[in-house]
Structure 1
Amino acid sequence: MDALNRISAIAAPAAAGVPLPYWISGFALIRAAAITFTVTTLVAIAAVVTSYWKLQHARQDELVALATRDAARQSFVHVEAEKQDIRVYQPLFLDLRRRGFVGTENRLEWVEAIRQIQETRRLLPLTYQIEPQQPYKLAGKVATGDYMMRGSRMTVHLELLHEMDLFHFLGDLRQRGVFTVQDCAIRRAASAGNAPLAPGLTADCTLNWLTLTPPAALRQGVR
């Protein structure tokens, strides 16, 4: 034990006299600067990350704003186009509605129109028959929106003094409604004579009265 104590006593001063490395012994001089540098670096990194995140978020907001602006512009253009269409087509629409084309079918007006035309034009007696209304398919594709095209077939037999009676009848009738002429056959009257009011011709025509029925009438079960 005495020998060990003597060896320790000799070695201790020797160990105490070994100089430390310069980067350890001099750290105390730069400790404050190192801490400041570390904190500054962390703050800078956090600032860069935050700025990048905000930049990406701003770009997304910009894209959303541009999309909203484009949608608003398209909506504005669409509204302006609709206004222009209304200005152009409203007079025609009002005229068609006045003539009974837009709306529900009104056969009483047709009957009254035929009676008035016959009296005004002084036509010979005529007979007609109107069939139940049915959905009407046009030859071409026509955009009618929610409205449905419907038609009622009418067969009419007329006794004519001359061909112009038929043309006048159809022309006047066209001012009271919208219809298509499916067919029309004119024949010489079998009882044609020399009497002033004797019919010289007979005409048998098939007409299709058309109406553009609105959605409300369709929901109510128009037949």
Structure 2
Amino acid sequence: MKSRLDIPMLKLSITVFCVVVLICATAIAGSYYFMYLGKTEFGKARNNLQSKRSAYEELIQKNNLFVEYAKKFNQLKSKGMVGNENRLSWIEALQHANSSLKLPQINYNISPQKLIPPEMIDPAIIEVSVTRTAMELQLEMLHEGDLFHLLEVLKQKSGGYFILDECTMNQTRRFKEEEIDITKANIRSNCKLSWIQVSLQPPIVGVTP
């Protein structure tokens, strides 16, 4: 008995097979496409996260820098370096020191305020003017310790910041050790100081370099 080839059934089988292959191919292609989209979105999300992390780290660095400079600024302010100079406070500090030392003589001379040239200042500092005011002290003292005591009182009570540029001391007269008179001036001293002031503004008009 011979079997006959069922042409319609064969065509249907081939058609179904082709449809299944097409569906599978489409599914595989779709899977790759969505996988590609997923990788792309993941890459974008990762880059976005990295960007935000970098921005956050930069913000932290700026904040730390601000805290550091704020601390330095407060240190300068506590020393009396920031703002306008207070000459009256300097003079009152000298008088306060002399009230306890009872120096035979104390004279002072304060020069006009001068602007420190910008090239002598850190270029990273902007919108700031730094000035220097020279003071000369002429003292007659009983002994060397009076000078150190006066400078310490000036540092603590003046409300300003100064640099000791130079100091000289000389005996006012020759004598033997047993002839020292603690009631009279035995040493003469000449000292030069520089009072430093910082203003948070462009150079002051009228103040010469």
Residue type of the alignment partner of 1:48? Y
Q: In structure 2, what is the equivalent of residue 13 of structure 1?
A: none
TM-score by length of 1: 0.64
Size of the alignment, in residue pairs?
192
Q: In structure 2, what is the equivalent of residue 50 of structure 1?
A: 34
Q: In structure 2, what is the equivalent of residue 188 of structure 1?
A: 171
Q: In structure 2, what is the equivalent of residue 128 of structure 1?
A: 108
Q: What is the SS of the residue equivalent to 1:123? A: coil
Q: Structure 1 residues 194, 27: CA separation in 2 closer, same or farther (over 3 Å shift)? A: closer
Residue type of the alignment partner of 1:114? L
Q: What is the SS of the residue equivalent to 1:167? A: helix
Ranges in structure 2 where 5+ consecutive residues have no aligned partner:
1-6
Shift of 1:184: 0.7
Q: Structure 1 residues 99, 29: CA separation in 2 closer, same or farther (over 3 Å shift)? A: closer
C-alpha contact 2:109 2:136 (8 A) present in aligned 1: yes
Greater shift in the superposed pair: 185-194 or 51-60: 185-194
Q: Structure 1 residues 172, 210: CA separation in 2 closer, same or farther (over 3 Å shift)? A: same
Q: In structure 2, what is the equivalent of residue 14 of structure 1?
A: none
The separation in 2 between residues aligned to 1:136 and 1:186, in whole angstroms, is: 31
Report whether the alignment pairs 1:118 with 2:98. yes
Q: In structure 1, what is the equivalent of residue 190 of structure 2?
A: 204
The structure with the greater share of residues assigned to helix is: 1
Shift of 1:103: 3.1
Q: Structure 1 residues 214, 170: CA separation in 2 closer, same or farther (over 3 Å shift)? A: same
C-alpha contact 1:118 1:124 (8 A) present in aligned 2: no
Matching residue within 144, 149, 174 for 2:155: 174
Q: Following superposition of structure 1 onto structure 2, how do residues 26-105 of structure 1 map, counting pairs within 5 Å?
A: 26-69=10-53, 71-72=55-56, 75-76=59-60, 93=74, 97-105=77-85
Shift of 1:101: 2.7
Q: Structure 1 residues 218, 97: CA separation in 2 closer, same or farther (over 3 Å shift)? A: same
Ranges in structure 1 where 5+ consecutive residues have no aligned partner:
1-22
The separation in 1 between residues aligned to 2:22 and 2:43, in whole angstroms, is: 32
The separation in 2 between residues aligned to 1:50 and 1:202, in whole angstroms, is: 93
Taking only aligned residues, the RMSD between alpha carbons, in angstroms, comes to 4.2
Question: Larger relative CO (CA 8 A, sep 6+): 1 or 2?
Answer: 2
Identity %: 19
Residue type of the alignment partner of 2:56? A
TM-score by length of 2: 0.68
Shift of 1:51: 1.6
The separation in 2 between residues aligned to 1:150 and 1:78, in whole angstroms, is: 29
State the 4+ residue runs in structure 1 displaced beyond 3 angstroms: 25-29, 69-83, 96-99, 141-150, 190-198, 217-223
Q: What is the SS of the residue equivalent to 1:104? A: coil
Q: In structure 1, what is the equivalent of residue 137 of structure 2?
A: 156
Q: Following superposition of structure 1 onto structure 2, how do residues 9-20 of structure 1 map, counting pairs within 5 Å?
A: none
The separation in 1 between residues aligned to 2:169 and 2:54, in whole angstroms, is: 62
Residues 37-64 of structure 1: CA deviation (Å, up to 9, x unaligned): 2243124213311221222321331243
The separation in 2 between residues aligned to 1:170 and 1:53, in whole angstroms, is: 76
